[in-house]
Structure 1
Amino acid sequence: MTDPRLADRSVFPDPVYKETVLRPLFDGAKHHHVDGFRAIDRAHLVMLAETGILSREQAAQIAAALESIDAEIDPESLEYTGEVEDYFFLIEKELKKRLGADLAGRLHTARSRNDIDHTLFKLGLKARLDVLIDKALNLHLALIEAAEREKATLIVAYTHGQPAQPTTFGHYLSAIVEFVVRDIERLFQAYDIVDLSPMGAAAITTSGFPTDRARVAELLGFSAPLQNSYSCIAGVDYITATYGAMELMFLHLGRPIQDLQFWTSFEVGQIYVPNALVQISSIMPQKRNPVPIEHLRHLASQTFGRARAMLEVMHNTPFTDMNDSEGETQAMGYQAFESAYRVLDLLTSLVAQIKVDPARVADNIRRSCITITELADSLVRREGLSFREGHEIAAAVARAVVATGGGLETDGYDPFLLAFEKATGRKTAIDPALFAEIVSPEYFVAVRTRFGGPAQAPLAAALAGYRDDAKMFAERHAALLTRQTTAARTLDQRFQALKDVA
């Protein structure tokens, strides 16, 4: 084989350039963007015919040639030879074979590789955002259903890695629901930015032909044309908005995933993962390894890292059409979507199946004395003490109980009597039964009835609101999908009609 470094360098493409740039770009296009190229060609052709820029006879011949190319060429089987620069020029070459150079070249009237490429990339992102949003909505709904199921299930809430206060698993899951709502909203906002068509901007400044940019946008399923033609080819905020939203979503999801890893540890054990999601050690048969959580953690981190990389590629690039935002960068970003889909599917399944171990939770609550805050609060309300006085009495009780390895409900009353009388110089009106109620985790949760709290009423109100959000998101997403379906059907009808020329 001839060393490519010795080849004739006077003819394009240089063999090294061909292998390091053109072949990967061609392969990326044939894997990711064939449908987009096809839709853009057809929508542009329909518009050229409707505006009279091309005659109906010319448009009919071009339409027939495009159909024959689609029928005769399997993009996946193509090998890059260097005879044409890229996939776009391959289609143009095939048109010339069928129509001749003059008629084939008329399809490119009033457009450029610049507006074609950014339209192509936006179509690719829209399709992937559709899937991502759908999977995010599935997770959102699974979290709501789990929160409703576990709304009264006690757990230990941690701060700084230590047991802090009791709450319910439903209250904890509702906290995840709330940031997922905000992350989904950011995905929709990113979609709105992507959903503006660059077609018709041509290279930079539109053209002198009487094109109809709104019509092309409609046929391709965009909400409208992006107005400023320079922005169409230079404004990569559709990329940064998409991957910025993804970066934040998977940064946020990684945090409760890490909690689940901690809560399933042997020492904590407040979350039980069913056998279908547990792998057994190859050498230690007693070990139940909840490895899906580990996979969630590293896949969420991979998604975050890939999304962040897309933002960094855009950093300090010129405000113009440039290769930094194009084919290979787009393909790199698609990897973030692939790992994102896996995280959302797996986390949705996990959330639906995990359970709280009530015995372990009860023991952890007993050993950690985490209901002691309510004793201090109750002393303020029932005995008229300042919170600082109540806090000091409660602290003394907790120290005494922890020292004996006991629990507040069963072993705390005697230390409480001593601490109260020492601090106040009088007897307490709280009897043993009332004391046991005050320091119970059920009471702790039940009295926290303020807005956003874990008690039954505020949590029920929150869950109803989350259901409203889910309904609104589903309707919003359905409307986007309906627009895509309608546009695709209209484009096909108008394209087929081009061939019905008498």
Structure 2
Amino acid sequence: MNAGTFNDTSTFPDPVYKETVLRPLFDGAKDHHVEGFRLIDRAHLVMLHETGILTIEQARPIAQALEDIDREVDVGTLTYTGEVEDFFFLIEKQLRTRLGPDLAGRLHTARSRNDIDHTLFKIGLKHRIDPLLERLVHLAETLASVAERESRTLIVAYTHGQPAQPTVFGHYLSAVLETVLRDIARLEASRDIVDRSPMGAAAITTSGFPIDRELMAHLLGFSRPLQNSYGCIASIDYITSTYSAIELIFLHLGRFIQDLQFWTSFEVGQIYVPNAFVQISSIMPQKRNPVPIEHMRHLSSQTVGRAQAMLTIMHNTPFTDMNDSEGESQGFGYGAFESGGRGLALLAALVPSLRIDAGRVRQNIRRSCITVTELADSLVRLEGLSFREAHEIAAEVARAIVAIGGDIAADGYAAFREAFRRCAGRDTTVAPDRFAEIVSAENFVAVRDRFGGPAPKALSQAIAGYNQDIAAIRARMQDAQRRAQASAQDLQSRFNALLGAR
């Protein structure tokens, strides 16, 4: 049915639509995408001229008008009036005012708001991924440094919330670091997806004009064009991959942060947080509250929630260009970078300041008998017992020591000798001093000199490998930065050539 049948006298935009949709979209573009619009206009103009689609007589006045708009229009002071639909049409209106409709309209040859929008969003994401990646790599460097510093510092490792085995703080931090490095790899992989230019896809199917998509990708600082033009405007995996990576980063860091909260509790107390990161109760003068840990936890949770929300927004949307993935959703997602960046900065500042309370660690090791696993292992090696027999003997020793609140090294030999005789049917060959050495925390760590273990040699080799991995990440980041700078300089140079002498 023809719309004219209804005698429709309404005019665009409806006032409610203007206030609920168009104004927020305009303000979002004004806040987040002005520089992206500027770059796209300039790069597209350069490409149109260099491919012969526009002559220099056409391109030069357009370039000069774009310069004038940059100089004369203070975007920050603009208020949406509804006279134009969005920020794109505002720029086009400014061009028409300066050049007239024919010449002004030539800038939009062979492009669409579809490919422009997704290019804007990718530029916006890259400008946020890179600082987040920088903070994440800085955290990795910090963890590696502190792991090396604490490579011989004993701690109690917990499983199921209970003391399990002794290890060193550097070994624990290295486990966190390995996860961070894998998270960095996921974020780098998502950045690679973001770093493919949609420009030249136009609305859906590219263009009949002889456009140069590789040139556009280069001038805008992308590594290459995204190939399939339908996918350029439909495949939003650049969004989902980015926010999936962010969600996992902060989900994983949240578990580390929760350990810090647990280990700083009065009952455990193996980590000391310095005064610079402690707030005192307003009513209880004895309390030292390491509340930055709580702030890191809720910042991580907020970031996970915001990233997860972005995935939910994309769920069950059609495989085409659609507003669900565009302006307002993009602006919403940027909150994940803000909260995540704050959390990473705070965590990287806190970790080097942490100190292990060696006295409390010794006390917890003594009270929990967590070295008896090595007693069982040693009996297998020294006495030729099966592990199950050795485990039974070690369990009896642990029960006896816990019952008297004793120290296994000082008080456990008698119980060990009796348990050994009862289970093995003979006397042990392990002397008291050898027994004390076997059940010491230092020995427990030292004998675990296997790939990935906490002993000094194995841990030192691991940290050296992590540092190599971090250096390689740094090199890739620097390469990307150099390429972006070269692209920006090349665009400026080519645009200046269009301007010529004024």
Give the TM-score normalised by structure 2.
Answer: 0.98
Partner of 1:121: 121
2:60 and 2:338 map into 1 onto residues whose CA distance is: 39
Tell me which residue corresponds to 2:186.
186
Shift of 1:75: 1.1
Shift of 1:496: 1.0
Partner of 2:82: 82
Secondary structure at the counterpart of residue 152 of structure 1 = coil
The SS at the match of 2:305 is helix
Amino acid at match of 2:418: L
Matched, 1:469 2:454: no
Per-residue deviation, 1:9:
7.1
Does the CA contact (< 8 Å) of 1:56 and 1:501 recur in 2?
Answer: no
| Deviation for aligned residue 1:418 | 1.0
Structure 1 residue 31: Cα displacement: 0.3
Distance in 2, Cα, partners of 1:424 & 1:334: 66
Q: Distance in 2 between matches of 1:257 and 1:15?
A: 48
Whether 1:174 aligns to 2:174 is yes
In the other structure, the counterpart of 2:59 is 59
Structure 2 residue aligned with 1:391 = 391
Equivalent-residue separation in structure 2 for 1:401 and 1:12 (angstroms): 83
Structure 1 alignment gaps of length 5 or more: 1-7
Q: Distance in 2 between matches of 1:496 and 1:352?
A: 48
Following the alignment from structure 2 to structure 1, what is the Cα–Cα distance between the partners of residues 289 and 487? 48
Secondary structure of 1:241's partner? Answer: helix
1:363-421 superposed Cα distances (whole Å, 9 cap, x missing partner): 00000000010001111111111111111111010000000011101111111111111
Determine the C-alpha separation between the residues in 1 that align with 2:445 and 2:419.
25
Q: Which residue in 2 is equivalent to 1:130?
A: 130
The offset of 1:58, in angstroms, is 1.3
Alignment partner, residue 3 of structure 2:
none
Letter in 2 for 1:34: V
Q: Which residue of 2 aligns with 1:16?
A: 16
Deviation at 1:295, TM superposition (A): 0.5
Task: Describe the superposition over 1:290-348 as per-residue Cα deviations: whole angstroms up to 9, x where unpaired.
Answer: 00100010100110110011111111000000000000000000000001101111111
Report the equivalent of 2:4.
Answer: none
1:501 deviates by: 6.2
Q: Distance in 2 between matches of 1:116 and 1:154?
A: 56
Kindly state the Cα deviation for residue 429 of structure 1 after the two structures are TM-superposed: 1.1
* Structure 1 segment 273-292 matched on structure 2, within 5 A: 273-292=273-292
2:48 match: 48
Distance in 1 separating the partners of 2:344 and 2:57: 50
Q: Structure 2 matches for 1:32-431, cutoff 5 A?
A: 32-431=32-431
| Structure 2 residue aligned with 1:3 | none
Unaligned runs of 5+ in 2: 1-7
Partner of 1:499: 499
Residue by residue over 1:10-62, the C-alpha shift from the partner in whole angstroms, topping out at 9 and shown as x without a partner, is 01000000000000000000000000000000000000111111111211101
Residue identity in the other structure for 2:337: F
How far, CA to CA, are the matches of 1:425 and 1:183 in structure 2?
A: 53
| Aligned residue type for 1:195 | D
1:206 match: secondary structure: coil
Q: Helix, strand or coil: the match of 2:167?
A: strand
Which residue type is aligned with residue 21 of structure 2? V
**Alignment partner of 1:344: what SS?**
helix
Deviation at 1:223, TM superposition (A): 0.6
Cα shift at 1:427: 1.2
What amino acid is aligned across from residue 488 of structure 1 in structure 2?
A: A
CA deviation profile, 1:185-231 (whole Å, cap 9, x unmatched): 01110011001000000000011111111001000000111111000
SS of equivalent to 1:449: coil
Cα distance in 1, alignment partners of residues 420 and 273 from structure 2: 43
CA distance in structure 2 between the aligned counterparts of 1:338 and 1:486, rounded to whole angstroms: 28
1:499 positional shift: 1.0
CA-to-partner distance for each residue in 1:452-473, whole Å, 9 max, x for gaps?
Answer: 1101111111011001001000
Moved over 3 A (4+): none
Residue by residue over 1:169-194, the C-alpha shift from the partner in whole angstroms, topping out at 9 and shown as x without a partner, is 00000001111111000111001100
Going from structure 1 to structure 2, the CA distance change for 1:30 and 1:361 (only over 3 Å counts) comes to: same
Kindly provide the amino acid, as one letter, of the partner of residue 343 in structure 1.
G
Residue type matched to 1:277 in 2? F
Amino acid paired to 1:267: E
Between the aligned partners of 2:477 and 2:164, the Cα distance in structure 1 is: 39
Contact 1:57 1:501 in 2 (8 A): no
Shift of 1:449: 1.1
Q: Deviations over 1:103-135 (max 9, x none)?
A: 111000000000000000000001111111111
Return the offset for 1:287: 0.5
Work out the CA distance in 2 between the residues paired with 1:359 and 1:70: 65
User: SS state of the match for residue 163, structure 1?
Assistant: strand
After superposition, the CA RMSD in angstroms is 1.0
Give the residue type in structure 1 aligned to 2:271: I
Distance between the aligned counterparts of 1:127 and 1:338, measured in 2?
A: 12
Superimposed CA distance per residue, residues 473-498 of structure 1 (whole angstroms, 9 cap, x where no aligned partner): 00001111111111111111111110
CA distance in 2, matches of 1:92, 1:186: 39
Alignment identity in percent?
69
